[in-house]
Structure 1
Amino acid sequence: MDEESLRKLLNAGSEIVGNVTGAIIGSAIAGPTGLLLGASLPTIFSMTFNRISDDVLNRTISKREEQKIGAGYIFAIDRIEKNIKAGKIIREDGFIGNDNILSDSNVILEGVTTKLQKEWELKKLQFYGNFLGNISFTDEVDFNYATVLLKIAENLSYRQLCLIKVFKKKGTPQIDLAPIENEYARGLSTKTFNYSLYSDLAEMDRLSVFQRRGPIKLGATIGNCILSDIGIKLYQLMNLEEIEKNDYNETVYELQSMLPGRL
């Protein structure tokens, strides 16, 4: 098993990486003739990426899908390199299997690959890659929890990821969404009410991204809330602090417009 398939995906991914993020990609995957797999990547990871890359290119997928998968792998490999340089320890709880296609890490890689292939919001690719690059260093998140988080991440839009960052940065101790809910319930301010943002918040509550805090407001479905453990884990595993400043500020502005003086 050589690196040819992986090299092809990484080179395909490089065509869109620069267009979707301002992130600086580490030197471990950059080469003068294109993106190559760095020698610093541990064998256990290179074997896994090579195996799944062979499988991906044996499927019938479009060039655009190759680019999206490759971009996600670029971010994942870059995150792995950064974790190793930061001294983080690769988990030793059985999550990673040497040559077992049914190992937890291989199944998660297959899941992320499927999400990357179908993802239409290109700005999410970086954060799928971060998730993949972090999960093998995060032993407090077992396979079942990782699967739940990945399913929730798939259902969240890029703006909802931005909202997670807003709640992480500004939601201490809590953000009161009751005024937004009350306005929605009364049907007021129809010309200015941001229904799409309200819908995003309600969906995040349904997906258990929020955890409610007292006091309970009459008629409020969400009310006072902070990030739940699910929200915090997504923030950490996806490195949502890397969301671009402009996107973050725009989301803050939208939320502040609905909660004047409260955020």
Structure 2
Amino acid sequence: MYIKVQQEYEIKKLKYYGNFLANIAFSEEISKEEANKLITLINVLTYRQIKLIALLSGQVIYTNSHITPELLEVMHKFGSDHMGFPKMKFPKKWDLPNRDFSAQGMSGYSTISIYQDLMDLMKLGLVAQYRDDNIEIILDITLINPHSLAMIGLGAQLYNLMKLEQIPENELEEMLDQL
């Protein structure tokens, strides 16, 4: 059973690893050292963590800025074909739950497990939790609030290079339900 589950998720991860390799081969902006760092990161990430990165991808746009829905609509329309620019793509903004486990604690293995994955992504520098436009340092999984999380730095590079927007929405919705 263990090997079957591991292989199934490694196969799903393989598509996005292939996207990464294809994109990095033609990128002039990414140095060999940076590419090596990103490959190392991909190798330690689980498929669930990759889905979490995809789920959090839009949050940085909405969390760290004052983009209103109206402004976002204008930004989506920018770049029409007659202007010679491709349409701008923005990750979907998911309605992440506003959780506070600090008072009552956290229970259930699946809950603890997914929040541990979020903590691991923070330790890797791919995700951060914000409060009042400042990054919070989180030392305990009970202090993680999905509503305040956003992808940062190398997480954004992985999202783009791995083309994580291709992860099926139903998989991200399942992940959202677990948070």
TM-score surpassing 0.5? yes
Contact 2:129–2:137 under 8 Å retained in 1: no
Amino acid at match of 1:227: M
Tell me the distance in 1 between the aligned counterparts of 2:158 and 2:176: 19
Tell me the distance in 2 between the aligned counterparts of 1:168 and 1:161: 10
Tell me the distance in 1 between the aligned counterparts of 2:22 and 2:137: 42
1:195 aligns to 2:112 (yes or no):
yes
Q: How far 1:234 moved relative to its partner?
A: 0.2
Deviations 1:192-218 (CA, angstroms, capped at 9, x unpaired)? 870111011000000000144333699
Q: Quick one: structure 1 residues 218 and 140, their matched pair in 2 at CA, closer, same or farther if it must change by over 3 Å?
A: closer
Deviations 1:148-190 (CA, angstroms, capped at 9, x unpaired)? 1111111111111111111113454239x9x65x51x556352
Tell me the distance in 2 between the aligned counterparts of 1:153 and 1:172: 23
Write out the 4+ residue segments of structure 1 that deviate beyond 6 Å after TM superposition. Answer: none
Partner of 2:130: 213
Gaps of 5+ in 2: 1-6, 64-93
Q: How far 1:141 moved relative to its partner?
A: 1.3
Amino acid at match of 1:245: E
Q: Quick one: structure 1 residues 136 and 192, their matched pair in 2 at CA, closer, same or farther if it must change by over 3 Å?
A: closer
Amino acid at match of 2:10: E
Provide the TM-score with structure 2 as the length reference: 0.62
Partner of 1:236: 160
Tell me the distance in 2 between the aligned counterparts of 1:144 and 1:119: 30
Q: Which moved more, 1:233-242 or 1:193-202?
A: 193-202
Amino acid at match of 1:232: A
Contact 2:128–2:150 under 8 Å retained in 1: yes
Amino acid at match of 2:126: V
Count of residues paired in the alignment: 135
- Which of 160, 165, 173 does residue 62 from structure 2 map onto? 173
Tell me the distance in 2 between the aligned counterparts of 1:191 and 1:226: 24
Provide the TM-score with structure 1 as the length reference: 0.44
Tell me the distance in 1 between the aligned counterparts of 2:54 and 2:136: 27
SS at the partner of 2:170?
helix
Larger Rg: 1
SS at the partner of 1:249?
helix
Tell me the distance in 2 between the aligned counterparts of 1:190 and 1:122: 31
Contact 2:56–2:151 under 8 Å retained in 1: yes
Amino acid at match of 1:123: K
SS at the partner of 2:171?
helix
Partner of 2:45: 156
Gaps of 5+ in 1: 1-117, 256-263
Q: How far 1:252 moved relative to its partner?
A: 1.9
Identical aligned residues as a percent: 30
Tell me the distance in 2 between the aligned counterparts of 1:254 and 1:138: 35
Partner of 2:173: 249
- RMSD over aligned Cα atoms: 3.2
Q: Which moved more, 1:118-127 or 1:204-213?
A: 118-127
Deviations 1:125-148 (CA, angstroms, capped at 9, x unpaired)? 101111110002222111111111
Q: How far 1:220 moved relative to its partner?
A: 4.4
Deviations 1:55-86 (CA, angstroms, capped at 9, x unpaired)? xxxxxxxxxxxxxxxxxxxxxxxxxxxxxxxx
